[in-house]
A and B are shown apart, each in its own frame.
Chain A
Amino acid sequence: MSCMCIEKRTELLHHKFGIAALAGQKVVALAGNPNTGKSTVFNALTGLNQHTGNWPGKTVGNAQGTFTHKGQPFLLVDLPGTYSLLPNSADEQVARDFICFGQPDVTLVVVDATAMERNLNLALQVMEITDQVVLCVNLMDEAKRKGIEIDIEGLSKKLGIPVVATAARQKQGLEELRDCLLDVACGNITPVPFTLRYSQEVEQAISELEPKLTPLLKGTMKARWVALRLLDGDDTLLEDIERYMTEEALQDPSLSREREVSPSWPQA
């Protein structure tokens, strides 16, 4: 990434997402289902270096915090807890937009070790958007109590991304998690997420769309993912591309920069 690009991203983060990243800070997006201990992971990583606010123009609270690992400063952005990234709600749209357009250096997906079958959905959806993904299998202590064992290495191989087991409440696995975030953010590890293949009809349609989309998107996002969204009739994506990715949008800071600080409310 050139200097110009970093500057542009800082501007984008600031204007569109109300997030002030410092030069040299690696940005980590924190995603996860509700009730996975996502906030506990967030608190464990950032300690007291955090503040809460609102996503600009959305009635969804956000929290961001900072930490430094082995001399590398990080900015951790806590996304709303969601079950999916299909933009059914403001929460899901905020999460999707940030992962897709906020261009985080890493997206950390927290999953509940006792409910992998439900939680992996979100991880699979994130992996379709970006390669820079780390999976955190949290609540390992609860899983152990319930007699559930998880093959972390096998999971990592199947998904093609780094996977770290944690029990954030007990502060277990956090050092490994920080190492992993550092490695992926700095390019020491390059995740190669496996590609989920859909039915033949869908794949056929994707292969027709991809070559048409690739030159238009100019490498800003994965053509396969955009093709999938066009196929499932997601109208919000094009509006969002216009909002976040066009030159005019980047230069116009006017887009609802409401910075009122509101309390964070239960995600139930």
Chain B
Amino acid sequence: MAASIERGDIHRLHAIARQVREENTEAVRDVIVEKIYQHSQTIADEVTSRTNQNKVNQDDRLDAILTSRYLGFPIMLVLLGIVFWITIAGANVPSSLLADGFGWLEGKLTAVFMWVGAPAWLHGVLVLGLYRGVSWVISVMLPPMAIFFPLFALLEDAGYLPRVAFNLDRLFRKAGGHGKQSLTMAMGFGCNAAGIISCRIIESPRERMIAILTNNFVPCNGRWPTLILLSSLFMVGAVGMGASVTVAALIVVGMVLFGIAMTLFVSWALSKTLLRGVPSHFTLELPPYRPPQFGRTIVRSVYDKTLFVLKRAIITAAPAGVITWILANIMVGDKSVLTHVADWFAPFAHAIGLDGYILMAFLLGLPANEIVVPILIMGYMASGAMMELDDMGALKALFLDHGWTWLTALNMMLFSLLHYPCGTTIYTIAKETKSTKWTVLSVLMPLAIAIVVCFVVAQTVRYFGWV
């Protein structure tokens, strides 16, 4: 079998192929495919016998509820809501435990640096920059991912996720995308880099690209903390006291729905312009419901997805911590480099309802979204290192001192939701698309959208004098 074919014969094959193409104008493929389908149906009928019709219908009955026109969406929102709720609520305790642990270790590290008489700058770069950067990322990202990914995998193992895709198929198809984009989008709620890798399940390159380019519009684990923190800090104060947790939660839900709307809108716009084409037929069959294999699913999702994504995040967070520390500690005149750059950004930032430090923080937070708020706090305090402020009141006072209003908070949330993907995600997009052009577009397009949305919101609010 392992013989090879000569080049001359390849040319002859091409010649035959050309001839065949000229002679066959009809859709022979359809005839061939149909025959195969027909025949497998015939054989299946001949060798299969059914004794109990009722049992076959159990799955159908479940499907009638879970994919029904009226109940399908509410059930889906509730189930996904529960997954998010468990993720957010469950991540708090391990997150603060990790943060405490890292804090304790930092104390020990500092002691060691002092004991060996290391210079202050070395301690600054390695401990206050690199070590704190990495420990922020691990303590904020690891717990939610370790909860979210297994829960999601269990839903999939049980056979529910294909039903979600089935439900959302219509919306995404209207937007020119693929039904499975709902799955990749849902994966993006955990982590956009993971969401983009999951786009591999979409077969057609056109729809896969749409899914990759729009994955960024749903908030990932790195942005949940920003959204939740800002909504609870400011939006609540604007509405009035009381029922604050619920209001804050509703605002976050509103942000999520806005993100999904943006996903659909941009998918639609792309499919009408750069990625024109007819949505490919969605032939996802609904597999049977099965009791999930808990142990194996949890182990594999933690090992394959959580640790994989975490590793990439750490690789990008480490240098960011170092750079931030250096920028905040090199003085030019009487101000640090960080402050100079923030001042330079100020006029543009004001026009879109933000300030120079916020833009600076987003820029330096490129490696991982979870370090944006820490960098911002650091910039405001000019303390020279990322820090953790446990007291919410102190944090709000710090922001108000720097001229924040509810508009600043709202626009920072919008910007966080819409702006370019994080470094890890951009790296993943480049790996997955193998194209510089599309990778650049995946950064510039959301950035442009974020700027326009923030500009319109800021100008409108100011025009009507709401702040």
Contacts and interface: CB of A to CB of B under 8 A. Distances in A.
Interface of A: 1, 4-6, 8-9, 12, 34-35, 59-61, 83-84, 86, 88-92, 103, 114-121, 123-125, 142, 145-152, 154-155, 158-159, 196, 198-199, 202, 205, 209, 212-213, 216-220, 228, 230-235, 238, 241-242, 245-250, 262-268
Contacts of B33: 84, 86, 232
B10 A199 contact: no
13 contacts: A35-B287, A60-B200, A115-B285, A121-B36, A151-B47, A158-B46, A159-B43, A199-B35, A217-B9, A218-B5, A220-B1, A232-B29, A262-B197
* 10 closest cross-chain pairs (CB), A and B: A147-B52, A89-B203, A120-B40, A263-B304, A35-B287, A232-B29, A116-B44, A117-B44, A5-B2, A147-B51
A247 B48 contact: no
B7 A246 contact: yes
Contact of A103 (B2, B7, B16, B304): B2
Given A199-B35, A263-B197, A263-B308, A218 B47 contact: no
Contacts of A61: 200
Contacts of A213: 13, 16
B197 A268 contact: no
Contacts, number: 198
A246 B5 contact: yes
A116 B47 contact: yes
A238 B4 contact: no
B200 A220 contact: no
Contact of A34 (B7, B44, B287): B287
Interface in B1-55: 1-7, 9-10, 12-14, 16-17, 20-21, 23-24, 28-29, 31-33, 35-37, 39-41, 43-55
B contact patch SS: helix
Contacts of B162: 268
Interface of B: 1-7, 9-10, 12-14, 16-17, 20-21, 23-24, 28-29, 31-33, 35-37, 39-41, 43-56, 153, 156, 161-162, 165, 180, 183, 197-198, 200-201, 203-204, 283-285, 287-288, 304-305, 308, 432
Contacts of B51: 147-149
A104 B100 CA distance: 54
B2 A8 contact: yes
A264 B284 CA distance: 19
A231 B26 CA distance: 10
A238 B287 contact: no
A156 B3 CA distance: 31
Nearest to B54: A147
Nearest to A262: B197
A268 B5 contact: no
B198 A117 contact: no
A114 B267 CA distance: 37
B21 A265 contact: no
B1 A198 contact: no
A240 to B, nearest CB: 11
A117 B56 contact: no
Contacts of B5: 216-218, 220, 241, 245-246
Contacts of A142: 288
A124 B35 CA distance: 11
Given A5-B1, A268-B284, A216 B13 contact: yes
A233 B197 contact: no
A148 to B, nearest CB: 5
Contact of B29 (A5, A59, A158, A233): A233
B201 A265 contact: yes
Given A117-B45, A234-B29, A266-B153, 16 more contacts: A6-B2, A61-B200, A90-B200, A146-B50, A146-B56, A147-B55, A158-B47, A209-B16, A213-B16, A216-B12, A231-B20, A241-B10, A247-B7, A265-B201, A268-B156, A268-B165
Nearest to B434: A59
A117 B50 CA distance: 13
A236 to B, nearest CB: 11
Contacts of B201: 265-268
Given A147-B52, A213-B13, A198 B31 contact: yes
Contact of A150 (B1, B17, B48, B56): B48
A97 B337 CA distance: 56
Contacts of A103: 1-2
Contacts of B305: 263
A83 B203 CA distance: 12
Nearest to A4: B2
Contact of A9 (B2, B17, B46, B197): B2
Nearest to A260: B431
Contacts of A117: 40-41, 44-45, 48
Contacts of B29: 86, 232-234
Contacts of B198: 265-266
Contacts of A145: 55
B41 A202 contact: no
B203 A91 contact: yes
B200 A196 contact: no
